[in-house]
A = this chain, B = another copy of it.
Amino acid sequence: MTSEQEIRAIIQQHQDAIRSKNVDRIMALYDPEAVLFDVKPPFQITGAAAYRRTWEECLPYFPEPNSFGFETRDLAISVSGDMAFAHWLFRFTGDPDHPAMKQWMRITSVARRRNGAWKVVHEHLSVPFDRETGKAVLTLKV
């Protein structure tokens, strides 16, 4: 596999781990020192152990394991040596009435390769916000 194919495989593993609601499988993809900018407060989460608690808190609000999927748009991957970054837009798919299925998000993910294994060292997840209303914008059509 090329490095780009390896990064694609990791993104797929990440989505599969979330779909199965398996925190161990999700966190296996992160570097212990990863710094995360999540879609919800706080501004910054330092370290995979703290990010694990975020996942443990939010996964119960997701639908049943493997009853939902991902719609991904505009994925771009770029690699240089032992660093790779990717960005894309996504939303969860499945039950259209579930609150988690209604919003698009943007993600930037950076991975480093150490001892032959890629690990996510930084992830930035967000939606834009409307300065007039102070509200988050959750749909692409704005």
Residues of A within 8 A of B (CB): 35, 37-44, 74, 76, 78-83, 85, 87, 89, 104, 106, 108, 110, 112, 121-122, 124, 126-131, 134-137, 140, 142
Given known A-B contacts A41-B130, A80-B112, A81-B80, A87 and B124 have beta carbons under 8 A apart: yes
Specify which chain B residues have a CB less than 8 angstroms from the CB of A78 in the assembled complex.
83, 110, 112, 121
Shortest Cβ distance from residue A107 to the other chain B in the assembled complex, whole angstroms: 8
Q: Once bound together, how far apart are the Cα atoms of A61 and B89, in whole Å?
A: 29
Given known A-B contacts A129-B127, A129-B136, A35 and B87 have beta carbons under 8 A apart: yes
Shortest Cβ distance from residue A32 to the other chain B in the assembled complex, whole angstroms: 15
Q: Give the secondary structure class of A's interface.
A: strand
Q: List 20 A-B contacts (CB under 8 A).
A: A35-B76, A37-B106, A37-B126, A40-B128, A41-B130, A42-B128, A43-B140, A78-B83, A78-B112, A81-B83, A83-B83, A87-B122, A108-B108, A108-B110, A110-B110, A124-B124, A126-B127, A126-B128, A134-B135, A134-B136
- B130 to A110, Cβ gap below 8 A? no
- A128 to B80, Cβ gap below 8 A? no
Kindly identify which residue among B35, B126, B131 contacts A126, using a CB–CB cutoff of 8 Å.
B126
Minimal Cβ-Cβ distance residue in B for A132: B40
